[in-house]
Structures are given as structure tokens and as C-alpha cells.
Amino acid sequence: MNKIAIIKTGGKQYKVKEGQVLSVEKLELAAGETVKLETLLIADEDGGNLQIGQPSLGEVVEVKAGVTAQGDKVHVIKFKNKTRYKRNVGHRQIHTMIEVKSF
């Protein structure tokens, strides 16, 4: 009987299960710290016992996650040999890797 939760962080919504590791927009936390995420919906995988927040479940259910790592920006460099062509292109939002612990 696994539970599925819909959480909201960084202006986006994610469908998560316990033990799942996911990448979210940067959270100002160090690795090893715990964060409580805004919970919008919780359901069992078989479709029973559905709880819907209006707009969130807040006090009723807490989804706790631990920060595993802070990501770095990715730089993309385009280079062509012997043609004097080199471009530093690309941008990537800094991400935080979190692991959903319990809800």
C-alpha cells in the first residue's frame, strides 16, 4: 500500500513517493538538512483514500524530505578546431537534490 503525494516547490508541482530522489529548484539548505514541503494531494496507489487540499493539506499531512546535494550550473562550450570559433553558451538553473523521507 504505497502512497503518492503531489507537492509544490519552486512554483512547480511534483508527483512523489517515499524514498524517491528528485531534483527541484534551489533551496537555501545545506546537505543533510530536512525540509517540509507544501502538500497539495495524497492518495494510495490503488486509488483509495484520496485527500485533496484546498489549496494545500498544510497542517493535516506533512511531506518531509532531506537534502542530499546542491547542484552546480552547467556550462556548455562550443568549439571548432582550427577556425577560431569558441562560444561559451548555455544556462542551467541551480538545482537541489532531495530525497522524500515520509508523509
Residues in the chain: 103
Q: How many domains does the chain have?
A: 1
**For the chain, what is the largest distance between any 2 Cα atoms, rounded to a whole number of angstroms?**
64
Contact 4, 42 (CB under 8 A): yes
pLDDT in tens, 38-47: 888 787 777 6
Boundaries of domain holding 57: 3-102
Backbone dihedral angles phi then psi of residue 62, each to the nearest 5 degrees: -115, 130
> In terms of Cα–Cα distance, which of 8, 54, 11, 60 is closest to 35?
8
pTM higher than 0.75: no
pLDDT in tens, 4-30: 888 889 899 999 999 999 999 999 999
